[in-house]
Amino acid sequence: MKHKLLKIKKLAVVFGTFAPMHTGHVDFITKAKRENDGVLIIVSGTNTEEDRGTRDGLHLNRRFRYVREVFHDDELVVVDKLDEEGMLAYPNGWEPWLKTLHKLIKDNTDYQFEEMTFYVGEEDYQKPLLSYFKKVFANEYCVVKDQINDFGKIREKEVAITIIDRTLVPVSGTEIRKNPLVYWRYITMPFRRHFTKKVLVVGSASGGKTTLIKDLGRVFNAPISLEYARHYQEVYNVRDDELDTNDYIRLFANQNEQTSNVIDSGSHSGIVFVDTNATVTMAYVDYYLKGVISEEEYQALKLSYKVAISKEKWDLIVLIPPKSAYVNDGFRDMTMASQDIRDGFTNHLIELLEQDGFKDKLLILDSDIDTFFLDNYKKTVKAIKDRLNIEI
């Protein structure tokens, strides 16, 4: 919940694009907080393609939320955003930018501070900031009773500039965007979810997905998100062919949540492996329920599917063809053991993946049955190296 900086004498103001925010930013913000009584962080930029962060998928609104998340438990830090859309590019847009900044300072404090210090990385910012705010403060006065000076007048607010020493952390936002895994240790936790490489493994049941996912997790020292449906079926003791509309709605939501929690855990170095997604779940909906349930129910499931798939971003999708033996584990529907049915299901899954816009991320494994498991592992590891530039 948004709060204000109240009853402080010394205010620090830090602004930047933060695309992404890294530990260097956090370090100087922490120092600014400790030098003052509170910090106002202004995340600036736009949600348009003119913004360098937006071009890399980190638009202003997302950066604002992530920065606020970094400091969610710090009462001495307040985060707001300054949307520069429609403003002229630096240095021609100073006047509207400064007026907007002034308003944000008023909105996020009780405006009773005596001193305000801007922490900036560019010396060119000093003159416009000092000129504007000294002029503003000359016409505005602190109303705190003990601020009467020796001449009986209310003292004006003071404004100062501190130049940030950027050499303390040997990395920039540009370098991180180009090589996030190289600089992974510097990326703050919320921003890591944006740069995490996500590898999805899909296919029909009993195809070796779980085994491959576990092996990849071990060899890359990375977390995995197993198929949520299997956990769900074990908890509720329900077979594949017994799942109904309500079950599938929960599967769509909870698989995505489970995967998001793995990514957000921070217990990885930039890559996670996931078994099954909303597309696979929808393929099962089409196999078991299409034409069986009412059209209204089916459309409700399609809506849940579209909502879930809209949140999914994959860097590599590995599809395992149904060549291994179909094993009865007590939950699987053995009518799907037919090779024709498994092939038909796989082809439909491929169609859905392509409709979802994942065609260019898709790797369909093709291995001889005699070397099926070894080849699938080796080809997946090679694809991770070639496409994601990540090696064991």
Annotated binding site, which residues? 15-18, 22, 84-97
Q: Under a CB-based contact definition with an 8 Å cutoff, are residues 344 and 226 in contact?
A: no
Distant-in-sequence contacts of 359-364, Cβ < 8 A, 24+ apart: 361/314, 361/315, 361/316, 361/317, 362/317, 362/319, 363/316, 363/317, 363/318, 363/319, 364/319, 364/321
d(CA 117, CA 163): 10
Sign of the alpha-carbon dihedral angle for 236, 240, 244, 249: positive
Q: Cα(272)–Cα(349) distance, rounded to whole angstroms? A: 22
Cα torsion through 82, 83, 87, 89, rounded to 10: 80
SS3 at position 238 = coil
Helices then strands (H, E): number in the chain? 14, 10
d(CA 228, CA 257): 10
Question: What residues form the annotated binding site for NAD(+)?
Answer: 15-18, 22, 84-97
Residue 381 near residue 392 (C-beta atoms within 8 A): yes
Residue 77 CB-density burial (10 A; 0-12 exposed, 13-18 middle, 19+ buried): buried
CA 248 from centroid of its chain's CA atoms: 26
Distances (CA, A) of 148 to 11, 157, 244, 360: 20, 12, 74, 69
H or E segment to which residue 385 belongs: helix 372-388
